[in-house]
Chain A
Amino acid sequence: MAVSSRQKEGFTMPELEYLAQCETVTIVPMHRMERLELVRGTVGPFRPPQKTQVPLWLATMLKRTNRCRIVAPDWLKYEHLQKLCKQEEEPDSLFTKLPFHYLEIAHILLTVAEDDIAESQGIRRLLQDLRESRQSKTLRGMEMLNPLQLQMDNLSAAEINEIRPLFRHSFNMLRQLDSLVLASEKSQQQSQYADQSYAGLEDSFVSSYPL
């Protein structure tokens, strides 16, 4: 596999940000430009003050040279984040829906285009809250780890990355143990109830792992 052993344990934050830079954002160009033929597609044309969709890396590049304003995505609005925070903090709530790379995008935008984002300080604070509540939820979810599956919808890249080392090892371990248990049970059953059929095995399987 092309992934290095280090990356099996997870990506670094800069790496994740690098990956997130392919997401598109909306900008308002400040310079008139024709279409740009990029490897991954065509962007533009840029006609101020009309909005266009560009990859995040291009947006940051243009922003750094003061050639555009970045339109904060809808999920990065103060009111929206507030709502999400509230939802997230409700007991027994699922993960709220956010872009896969939300932390990375938010970080990049807040670094590069803070002036384009209204209430950026408040947004920072809310993102921090959001992240913490989701983190605790993730850890709680990890407690429910079983050898079959772990379902946590709407988990973002960075959050997956956080639990990756722990999850990987423990999941593998659990599976190994599980196969041992299964094997031993099977042999026991075969010896004890040699005449019993496959159904009994099913039962024991189900009872040992209530799903």
Chain B
Amino acid sequence: MAHGISPPRYAHSDGYTALAFSADGTLIITGGSDTLIRVFRSSQNERDKEALTLEHHGDAVVAVAASRSKIVTGDEEGVVLSFDAHNGVHASGTVLRSALPARDVSISASERLVAVSGDDDAVRVVSLVDMGVQHVLEGHRTAVSSAALAPDAAFVAAVGCDSTVRVWDVRGDATCVQVLRKLAYTCEPGVALRQTKARWSPDGSAFAVAGEGHAVRVVARNSWAVAGELGGEHTDMVTCVAWSGSGRYVASVALDGVVAVWDVQARRAVATRRTGAKLCQVAWNPRANMLAFTDAAGALHVWDDPVPAGQGYAPVFAEAEAEVGAEAATETQVDAATDALMSDLFAGDGMPDADGEDDSGEPAAFDSGDELVDAGEALDDFVVDDDGGGYAERPAAPPRPARVLAARSFQPGATPWAGDRRYLALNMVGSVVAIAQDAAHNTVEITFFDKSAHRDMHFADSFRFSLAALCDAGCLLATTTRALANDGSLRGAGDSEDASVVAFRAFAPWAAASDWTLPLPANEHPRCLAVSPAGAAVVTSRGMLRLLTCGGVQRHIESLPDRVVTCVAHGDLLLLLLARGEGDLEYVLMRMDGSGRLASGTCPLTPGGTAAWAGFSEEGHPAVCDSRGVVRLLHRYWAPLQACWVPVLDTRGRRAAVWPVALSARHLLAVTCRGASRYPPVPTPILDELPLGVPLLQPDAAASQLEGRALEAAMFHSQLAGEARRTAGEYPGGRTAEARDRLEHDKLLLRLVQLACKADRPQRAVDLAGMIASEPSFDACVKIAVHEKQSQLAERLMRLKEELFRNHDDDKDEEDEESEGDQASDGDLDQASDVEMASDDQRPPRAVRRPAATYGTRRAAAEPAADTAAAAAAAPVAAPVAGSAFARPPAPPTTGRPFNPFGVASPSKSMELKRSDSFFDAADAHSSALSREASASPAAAAAAAAAGHVPPLPAKRVNPVAGEADDVPRKASRTGAAGAAVTIPTLTAMGVLGYYAQHPDEQQQQQQQQPQRRRSASLTDREFILDDDPSEFSSFSSAPDAFAAHGGGRRRRPSQPSSSAFPGPLSDAVKPDHALLEEPHLQVWRDRYKWGRQYGMNYAHNDR
């Protein structure tokens, strides 16, 4: 490593040469009399490379300042330009044009403010955010040779050419806090070389300036007294000073060619070098023991290791910080550290903490990740105390825990000033733009996206409102203090002495006279506002939440912790976000009338992010977007204790910055910012629609995308339903819309089922099918399984369907068919002749109609059934009747064809009927319902959906059999269960088979007359197959597993694994049934009956 000064590098032509280091120490920026700016790399191996040259100035560059990513330069023409140092250096705008030459520029660590001094007698403080002049510091009588802005942007130290140094507090209204006469040199106005510069220490605790006696004087902050003098090395005018990164050393250069390095604490020089040239400026690498200075010949010198090793130049700020520092340290840590530093610094100076950050806290568009630069964030480099000594005057208070920033509130959609315009609000309704006019007033312009709703309006605004919230009913406006305003560059805000004002501007034509204006108490200022047609909310600096009606009635006041970040309203809901210590947020969702809270808790943010936007979706989902570009919805807010934040959009991958405006169910409406700007331009451009996408795993897989869409559809559907329930209102669009939404969800699931079938993932298909909401959709699902030749899956799905929809049907049926169904069954019973009383008794109570509920209920139903049956007839006779204990009353006449699961599910080739016609009819009915739905006729779809819910009719299931025995099939089929009970014993299994085989016509007729009966029979047959030995089946079918699956279905129990191929041990609950079925011949009958019927029926079908 080279120790000592490198050979001069001639960067510019002869003349005054300015110099600065970037905050990360990698770049050296010089500006010279040849109007050029050159950017060198500071590291030793890259130092000799070609410098980047910028030719933006028209005159000699005499001032250069740099921070982390900004470079500000000033020239003798009076033009101050700024550059962005991201991926190369690009011009980013003109900061200021003044009539007289600039002499010194200085930038705050947060890169928001620039102080410019020049040959006129005023110092200007300019906001880099909007390039607006924020303060003009007038007080000097002569040209100002130097203006140094403290790193935290709180103070400006300005050196007049008359040797006076003035210190200004620029946090609120600029005030001169100290005038130090005869501190600096008396300089020659207009001659750059014969002037001196003041510089702040990196921690902002002191500044240094050279003065008479060629001594560097260090002035401590707050006391503004000269704390030390460093002299004795220079023999000519000291032109510039520089602080080391740790704040322990100061370097000075002079016209005599001497460069000296001073230990501030020890107040002595630790190293000096003599060069032959007149030295102009000096800068210290903030992260290394490296000094750079320029001379009047346009040369750049770099001095590596100016502080000798023996002097204990602690490398804390160099290697340690450079390695882990900016990159690895998360921004939350930085925030906390900065806070600690600030409270440390300001302890005891009597300043309210909240005022410590002047230029912080505006909402930031999110893009690259370096947004929301907190005041003094760049100070993180200096947090580590290198030598434990720091500066003598530094207050020795122990660091306090990170305090919560109070002044970080923002208004969603508000931007800082850009030119003379600024958005006060921008949302789904429209925009509120403030236009600066003159010192006395602004103009407020309200434009609506929907021109038919309201007429655009604009009015003169003598209050100079700085907060606004917009809704359909009106616009709420408020003034506030500068300290509480969205950003430090706020212009035209009322002074802190003035009382703040809240005003409401109503839009409804008849309510034109209902505008109101309310002044707030003198010491209470609005922090943020929210308004909806249900009322207005004002959060104030005294921790008050004031809720008013749109007419101006004050209806609720509540005390809140004074750390509200933002609030937003929609309908009758108000969402409040409150800051918490660890950089995350708390949320409170309450009613707009203050009558209660729906939900509250932690609002998650992406690590390192802050809240950038809050709002509600069009449908009313509360949403928060953080500065990292992740949008989250507060889901299930309507249900107590169930609210959760669901991430629905991640814009981190996008190239351009995105400024969220509003959220609809499917899109985030946002302005994509062009170029370097992070804020939307005025007038509002066409909003981009960014489709929402829940961040699922495997986002590129087709199935995942569908899953995501299904998830979103389910979420928005449930939100609409939940909101309707919460407000006791109707689903938006009525029941047809609800059915349509549900069907849409089902369609997505069906497509997923198909993908799962194709991929041969049956469990996945079953899981998906379990989410299907309507029965016809489920039928279509089975159809898909059959189509994909997944017969086992189809079988399983059928069982699942039983579980899912029997309950469902019952619920529905009870509502719709209470009277109807009962009447129908009564009618049937009237026709029955003698024994039907048993059956009548056994008509199940309501509870029994919920077979899937518990085994307990079933047992309760089964026992009396068995008893009464036994009393009524011989035991074998009673068996099928006992089954009717599970019966439900007949369904009302339906249009749909019966749905026979066995025809679908049987894998046996002897059945030849994998694809039962009846099944496909049902499925077709559904698919036609789907297509009808597609042609915007949701009512038809809903009707079809209702039609699909055909409850089984077990009470009549034996009718075909009875009919055969009595040879009066049609009559018997009408007479119902009682008749069947009498005749069944005379049958044999073969007889049943024979019947169907020999009488297809009759069978067909019956099928036409009683479409549901066969279906009900096949369903309830399963009720009989309780716990049979599976070997029994083998003689009847080549597919025992299909049977066994039925057995499993009968004994459904949540804990039991449904995949077991054969029935397990008999459960107590079903024993009564079983006891009735113990009769050997009855068992044979049962099985043959079922399969005979099955076979016969299908036979008939085929025949046709």
Contacts and interface: CB of A to CB of B under 8 A. Distances in A.
A71 B453 CA distance: 22
A31 interface: yes
Contact of B689 (A30, A50, A69): A50
Interface string A76-108: 000000000000000000000000000000000
Contacts of B452: 30-32, 67
Contacts of A31: 450-452
A144 B689 CA distance: 47
Interface string A54-76: 00000000000011010100000
A42 interface: yes
B667 interface: yes
Contacts of B618: 47
A69 B687 CA distance: 11
Interface in B662-698: 662, 664, 667, 669, 686-687, 689
A87 B209 CA distance: 62
B449 interface: yes
A49 interface: yes
Interface of B: 428, 448-453, 618, 661-662, 664, 667, 669, 686-687, 689, 936
A48 B450 contact: yes
Contacts of A37: 936
6 contacts: A28-B687, A31-B452, A32-B450, A32-B452, A49-B428, A50-B689
Interface range on chain A (Cβ under 8 Å from partner): 10 to 19
Nearest to A27: B686
B235 to A, nearest CB: 62
A49 B936 contact: no
A108 B492 CA distance: 46
A186 interface: no
Contact of A32 (B453, B664, B687): B453
Contact of A28 (B662, B667, B686, B936): B686
Given A49-B669, A49-B687, A71-B686, A30 B451 contact: yes
A31 B667 CA distance: 19
A66 B936 CA distance: 29
A28 B664 CA distance: 15
B245 to A, nearest CB: 45
A49 B452 CA distance: 12
A51 interface: yes
Interface of A: 28, 30-32, 35, 37, 42, 47-51, 66-67, 69, 71
A38 to B, nearest CB: 12
B376 to A, nearest CB: 39
A136 to B, nearest CB: 36
Nearest to A42: B936
A51 B662 CA distance: 13
B832 to A, nearest CB: 53
**Most A CB atoms within 10 A — which of B451, B618, B661, B689?**
B451
B570 to A, nearest CB: 16
A30 B449 contact: yes
A37 B686 CA distance: 26
B690 to A, nearest CB: 12
A67 B451 contact: yes
Contacts of B450: 30-32, 48-49
Contacts of B664: 47, 50
A42 B936 CA distance: 9
Contacts of A66: 451
Contacts of A50: 664, 667, 669, 687, 689
Contacts of B669: 49-50
Contacts of A67: 451-452
Nearest to B689: A51
Contacts of B448: 48
A29 B687 CA distance: 12
B533 to A, nearest CB: 16
**Most B CB atoms within 10 A — which of A30, A32, A48, A66?**
A48
Contact of A69 (B661, B662, B667, B686): B686
Contact of B449 (A42, A48, A71): A48
**Most B CB atoms within 10 A — which of A30, A67, A69?**
A30
Contacts of A30: 449-452
Contacts of A47: 618, 664
A195 to B, nearest CB: 60
Contacts of A48: 448-451
Contacts of A35: 936
A69 B689 CA distance: 15
A37 B689 CA distance: 24
A75 to B, nearest CB: 17
Nearest to B936: A42
**Most A CB atoms within 10 A — which of B448, B452, B618, B664?**
B452
Given A32-B453, A50-B669, A67-B452, 13 more contacts: A28-B687, A31-B451, A32-B452, A47-B664, A48-B449, A48-B450, A49-B428, A49-B449, A49-B669, A49-B687, A50-B664, A50-B689, A67-B451
A37 B935 CA distance: 11
B344 to A, nearest CB: 48
A48 B428 CA distance: 8
Nearest to B448: A48
Contacts of B449: 30, 48-49
Nearest to A28: B686
A28 B685 CA distance: 11
Contacts of A28: 686-687
Contacts of B936: 35, 37, 42
A20 B936 CA distance: 27
Contacts of A42: 936
Nearest to A69: B686
Contacts of A51: 686-687, 689
Nearest to B688: A51
B960 to A, nearest CB: 48
A42 B448 CA distance: 26
Contacts of B453: 32
B402 to A, nearest CB: 41
Nearest to B661: A49
**Most A CB atoms within 10 A — which of B428, B450, B667, B936?**
B450
- Please list the 4 inter-chain residue pairs (A to B) with the smallest Cβ-Cβ separation, ordered nearest first: A49-B449, A31-B452, A48-B449, A48-B450
A55 B522 CA distance: 58
A61 B239 CA distance: 71
B358 to A, nearest CB: 35
Contacts of B686: 28, 49, 51, 69, 71
Nearest to A116: B686
A66 B456 CA distance: 14
Nearest to A32: B450
A28 B688 CA distance: 11
A155 B451 CA distance: 40
Nearest to A68: B451
Contacts of A32: 450, 452-453
Contacts of B667: 50
A30 B662 CA distance: 16
B893 to A, nearest CB: 33
A70 B687 CA distance: 12
B681 to A, nearest CB: 12
A37 B669 CA distance: 26
A49 B451 CA distance: 10
A106 to B, nearest CB: 18
B472 to A, nearest CB: 11
Nearest to A71: B686
A67 B452 CA distance: 9
**Most B CB atoms within 10 A — which of A42, A48, A49, A50?**
A49
Contacts of A49: 428, 449-450, 661-662, 669, 686-687
A67 B453 CA distance: 12
A72 to B, nearest CB: 9
A28 B683 CA distance: 15
B565 to A, nearest CB: 26
A51 B687 CA distance: 8
A31 B452 CA distance: 5
A42 B938 CA distance: 14
